[in-house]
Amino acid sequence: MRVVFMGTPDFAVGTLNAIADAGHEIVGVVTQTDKPVGRKQELKPTAVKEAALKRGLTVYQPRKLRNNPEFLETLKQLAPDVIVVAAYGKIIPKEILGLPKYGCLNVHASLLPKYRGAAPIQWAVIDGEEKSGVTIMQMNEGLDTGDMLASAAVPITKEETGGSLFDKLAKAGAELLAETLPKVEKGEIHPVKQPEESPTPYARMISKADGRIDWSLPALKLECFVRGMDPWPAAYTSFAGKGLKIWKSQVEPAGSGEKPGTVLAADEKGILVQTGENALRITELQLEGKKRMQVSDFLRGHRVETGTVLGE
């Protein structure tokens, strides 16, 4: 098949490679514009652009898709049989959706209709789900509301982080898309419509501010929250006037009548903190300006008094 691929971050690279390795003709790769990064604000290409150039593919980086007749004409000249979209990061307008013979197929990192939206991977971990997965969807003008063509489930382990699930779903999505494309071409797919109104959680985009820990929540929810926010933006609180990122924690069936956020104990086993229900034992952390470390190492250089309230 003649394929135009649209994607931006690491998540999409595996799918791009899978399409190429399967022998399809990738006639163009569309990705977002290079972004300035670091202190020097040097322009950095997207992960998809780097992968595409290594394969000698033609890359397009339009600043916008909507009301862009020049780019629309470029797509028409490329004459793709299908457009595959994986974490591109922009809404695809109607005139592009209807352009290819087989339309636009999206690799979405959830088991639709659950977790429509921009951050399905992190929210599945944060919400304590036991499984996630990927869905190949026929795109329409709605937000992740198109007909479902194929899906594959992936279990979420008790140690799963947003980062580790990201890697698993990227691999699963690439494999599922490669399996689905030939079936679409042969007419072997039977699309399944999604409900018009989804009662399930919506996976809104996560911001840096979302990482702040609310100690009034139950310890079980906070343990999931810590894992879901890893690696970005990381779950964080404050200690001694500095930001404190929490990387690993565990629920303890303990607690007292202390205010949520109060340190109940601090020793080599970790820092035990009162929550809204039970307690959370912090075992790995990172103080602002310092390296990530085990609590036992942290306590060698910092005194954490019982009764200290984190986040104040």
pLDDT in tens, 244-253: 999 999 999 9
**Per the domain annotation, does 108 fall within a domain?**
yes
- pTM for this predicted structure: 0.95
Q: Is it the case that residue 112 has pLDDT exceeding 80?
A: yes
**Per the domain annotation, does 75 fall within a domain?**
yes
- Residue 292 CA to residue 54 CA, distance in Å, equals 34
- 242 and 189 co-located in one domain: no
Q: Is it the case that residue 28 has pLDDT exceeding 90?
A: yes
Q: Which of 122, 310, 281, 285 is nearest to 216 (CA)?
A: 310
Strands 42-44 and 242-252: unpaired
- Residue 123 CA to residue 229 CA, distance in Å, equals 9
Q: Any idea which residue has 């709605």 for tokens?
A: 142
- 262 and 184 co-located in one domain: no
**Per the domain annotation, does 311 fall within a domain?**
no
Order of strands across the sheet that contains 2-7: 59-60, 25-30, 2-7, 82-86, 104-108, 131-138, 148-155
Taking the chain, what is the end-to-end CA distance rounded to the nearest angstrom?
58
What's the pLDDT score for residue 196? 81
What CATH number does the domain containing 283 carry?
Answer: 3.10.25.10
- 21 and 86 co-located in one domain: yes
- Report the pLDDT averaged over residues 102-129: 97
- 51 and 93 co-located in one domain: yes
Query: What is the CA angle 169-175-177, rounded to 5?
Result: 95
Please give the mean pLDDT across all residues of the chain: 96
**Per the domain annotation, does 66 fall within a domain?**
yes
- 75 and 182 co-located in one domain: yes
- Report the pLDDT averaged over residues 228-245: 97
pLDDT digits (tens, 9 = 90+) for 54-94: 999 999 999 999 999 999 999 999 999 999 999 999 999 99
| End residue of a domain, out of 187, 202, 217 | 202
- 101 and 133 co-located in one domain: yes
Instruction: Please give the structure tokens belonging to residue 142.
Output: 């709605």
- 192 and 232 co-located in one domain: no
- 191 and 214 co-located in one domain: no
| End residue of a domain, out of 202, 219, 251 | 202
**Per the domain annotation, does 104 fall within a domain?**
yes
Range of the domain at 29: 2-202
| End residue of a domain, out of 170, 202, 234 | 202
**Per the domain annotation, does 157 fall within a domain?**
yes
- Three-state DSSP at 10 gives helix
- Residue 221 CA to residue 258 CA, distance in Å, equals 19
What's the pLDDT score for residue 111? 97
Query: What is the CA angle 197-202-206, rounded to 5?
Result: 160
- 51 and 149 co-located in one domain: yes
What CATH number does the domain containing 150 carry?
Answer: 3.40.50.170
- Residue 78 CA to residue 30 CA, distance in Å, equals 12
- 186 and 237 co-located in one domain: no
Count of domains forming the chain: 2
Q: Is it the case that residue 255 has pLDDT exceeding 90?
A: no
Q: Is it the case that residue 200 has pLDDT exceeding 80?
A: no
What's the pLDDT score for residue 235? 98
- Residue 135 CA to residue 118 CA, distance in Å, equals 14
Strands 242-252 and 279-287: antiparallel
- Residue 118 CA to residue 125 CA, distance in Å, equals 14
Q: How confident is the model at residue 199 (pLDDT cuts 50, 70, 90)?
A: low
- 124 and 10 co-located in one domain: yes
**Per the domain annotation, does 306 fall within a domain?**
no
pLDDT digits (tens, 9 = 90+) for 145-177: 999 999 999 999 999 999 999 999 999 999 999
Q: Is it the case that residue 115 has pLDDT exceeding 70?
A: yes
- 14 and 136 co-located in one domain: yes
- Residue 231 CA to residue 289 CA, distance in Å, equals 17
**Per the domain annotation, does 312 fall within a domain?**
no
